[in-house]
Amino acid sequence: MGDEKSLAHTRWNCKYHIVFAPKYRRQVFDANVRSYAPVRA
């Protein structure tokens, strides 16, 4: 329970790192990054 974050009425334990990349910046992700973090449209 020590890893949980909370607000007034919610509790969560986030286990994912989410990256948002605009369409024109997707070329920044090279083949190495795409191999373990696939880009989804």
> Residue 34: is its pLDDT beyond 60?
yes
- The pLDDT score that the predictor gives to residue 13 is 75
What is the pLDDT at residue 36? 65
Mean pLDDT over each residue of the chain, to the nearest integer: 67
11 Cβ neighbours under 8 A, 6+ residues apart: 4, 5
Q: How many whole angstroms separate alpha carbon 28 and alpha carbon 15?
A: 24
The pLDDT value recorded for residue 16 is 78
Per-residue pLDDT tens for 10-28?
A: 777 777 777 776 766 666 6
Q: pTM of the predicted model, to two decimals?
A: 0.23
